[in-house]
Amino acid sequence: MKLAIASGKGGTGKTTLSVALALAADRPVSLLDCDVEEPNGHIFLRPQIEKRERVVVPVPVIDDEACTGCVQCSSFCQFNALVCLGSKTLVFPELCHSCGGCTKVCPTGAISEEDREIGSVECGHADGVDFIQGCLDVGHAMSPPVIRAVKHHIDPDTLTILDCPPGTSCPMITAVRDADVAVLVTEPTPFGLHDLKLAVETMRDLGLPFGVVVNRSDAGDDLVRRYCETEAIPILLEIPEDRRVAEAYSRGQSLLDAAPDLRPRLRDVLTAASQLQRGNQPS
C-alpha cells in the first residue's frame, strides 16, 4: 500500500503522523519525505544515510549560429522560458519545465539540452524503517522533479508512507498522485477547516480514497467533525492536545516517544487505510 499523508494547510502534523505510523507499523515499511522544500522527517528518525544522488533536469541550450530567431520555440513555451530578441534567443532555465517541446519545434535544430542540477535524494535506514528524502537546492523553484525522484525509490513489496508537501498545488499533487489511499491531517480551527475542504476537493478530483486525522482535536471547535459527518468522510484518528507531545517534538522526538500508548491506535489507522484502499468503509 502506498499511503499519502497530506493536508491543505501547513503545520497540521503531517510529519509527526508520518513518522509515528512508520514506527508503529508491524510490517516492512518505507518512509518517503516528499516535502522537498523543507524535509524534516530525518530530525525525528535520525537515519543512517547510506546513499546520495543528485537530481538533474534537462534545459534547453541555444546554438546562436544555427538560431534564426523564428520565435517558434518561444511561441510554443507556455512558461516563458524562452524569449526571442531579434535573431537571438534567451533561455531562462528557472522557468523551464523540461518538457522538451522547444527541441521538437525548432526548424533548424538550434536547440539541444543539457542537465541542470536542482536537488538531491538521500536514502538510509532507522529503527527498521527504510528512509528516503528529497531536498530541493536553495534558489530553485521546481520541486516536482525532486519529488518524482524520491518516488522512484518506492518498493512495491513494502508499505510506503509518503510525507507530502502542504497545500493543493503542483508539489502536493505530484506527491499524492499514484498513491493507493490518502490521510488528510487537519486541526479544529477555521483555517484548518477551510484548507481541509480544498484538500478534500483535490482528493475527489483525483479519485483517491481518503480519511481524516484530526490533530490537537480538543484545542478548537467541532466544525471539522461536523463537516466530516456531513460529507461522509471517515475520521480515522483524533489526537488530543498533549504537552508531552509538544515537549518531545521540541527535542526532536517522535509522537510515540511521547505517547507510546498511541501505537495500537496508529496501527488501527493503517488497517482503516487498507480498508479504504479496498473500497470499504473503516470499521
CB 259 within 8 A of CB 228: no
- Give one DSSP letter per residue of 3-49, joined into a string: EEEE-SSTTSSHHHHHHHHHHH-SS-EEEEE--TTS--HHHHH--EE
Q: What is the pLDDT of residue 24?
A: 96
Distance CA 195, CA 110 (A): 46
Question: What pLDDT was estimated at residue 127?
Answer: 85
Angle at 260 between CA 1 and CA 159, to 5 degrees: 10
Sorted by sequence, the CB contacts under 8 Å of residue 141 that are 6+ apart come out as: 94
Global pTM? Answer: 0.92
- Pairing mode of beta strands 29-33, 129-136: parallel
Alpha-carbon Rg for the chain, nearest whole angstrom, is 22
- What residue ranges of the chain have pLDDT lower than 70? 283
pLDDT of residue 283: 66
Q: How far is CA 219 from the centre of its chain?
A: 26
Query: Looking at the DSSP assignment, which residues form a beta bridge with residue 186?
Result: 214
Phi and psi dihedrals of 80, rounded to 5?
55, 35
Q: What does the block give as the cell for 107?
A: 526548424
The burial of 209, by beta-carbon neighbours within 10 Å (0-12 exposed, 13-18 middle, 19 or more buried), is given as: middle
How many helices (H) and strands (E) are present in the chain, helices listed first?
Answer: 11, 11
Three-state secondary structure call for residue 70: coil
Could you say which DSSP state residue 92 is in?
-
